[in-house]
Amino acid sequence: MMTPSHHAYVPFVSVDKMMKLVLTLGIERVLLDLVAEIEADFRRWPEFDKTARVASHSDVGVIELMPTSDGETYGFKYVNGHPSNMKNGLQTVTAFGLLADVATGYPVLLSEMTILTALRTAATSAMAAKWLAPAGATTMALIGNGAQAEFQALAFKAVCGITEVRLYDIDPAATAKCVENLAGRGLRTVACTTPEQAILGAQIITTVTADKQYATILTDNMVGAGVHINAVGGDCPGKTELHRDILLRSGIFVEYPPQSRIEGEIQQLPADHPVTELWQVIAGTATGRTDARQITLFDSVGFAIEDFSALRYVKSKLAETGLFDNLDMIADPNDPRDLFGMLLRAA
């Protein structure tokens, strides 16, 4: 007689467990750790399978899959972007992710990634600024004060030493929310009523808006020499934040050019316009900022390797924190040929 069927359990990090994990470890520690993980994976960039994300666009938003593999572990993220969701009390962006063992194909982690994406996006922004921003930068303008804003501010504080954040949003309530959430976290926050006021004295300008349209959050005359621009919000076809003339004055750094040319600020430029891949700067095979007066632009759209790094980081912290559940996800009959028999024995 065969022994009873058993199940293969997969570690699952729910929203509740993710929140507890981040707060247990400390938000700034997590951001610093994620920078280290993403940098390490960028240094071995050639080892990864790379493909532009698989996107399904509609009039109201986009649903995407972001896959990659380093030959040992496979990962993907499911993510959406629906700017009109906020009007209905829903998140603009939601996400979950999975890691699997390449040798068996078995999943080894399933995790929420709405919170984790905000953390890894902020970590990637600050990582890029670490390599590209002017030396000694202390002030950042943060234009767009929605769901990503606090994560961006804290990442730049932890990684780059920013001490002042100048905030602007078309909705003053969003700015007020951001000021309140950042209170007591070691940052001076300045609520501004115009983008022009926000960029006064800022060595770093971060744009992180959500409208799915060709927008001009920054015009050419707003950007002075020596500034680093962290453009986060332009992340799908037909969605940009910067005037084209700013791009023509800037040294442009991207994650994966085939994806960035479709989705990033550089969709406004000819397909052969020169850009530098950020991984090459980190690996030491390309130059970052060339002089104090150069405008540097990180045209951030988000790439699967960053999600892979973030998921691996979370998996590495499960034993330390115990903050996961076992998910009954994989049918695993004792006799691999007898899946039907396993089904019948559940009766």
- Beta-bridge partner residues of 49: 69
121 in Cβ contact with 154 (< 8 Å): no
Sign of CA dihedral 181, 182, 188, 191: negative
Q: What is the Cα 336 distance to its own chain's centre?
A: 39
Residues carrying an active site annotation: 235
Give the helix/strand (H/E) hosting 257. helix 257-263
Cα–Cα distance between 306 and 68 in angstroms, integer?
10
CA angle 103, 95, 62 (to 5 degrees): 110
DSSP 162-231: --EEEEE-SSHHHHHHHHHHHTTSS-EEEE-SSHHHHTTT-SEEEE----SSEEEEE-GGG--TT-EEEE
CA distances from 237 to 63, 104, 225, 300 (A): 13, 36, 28, 13
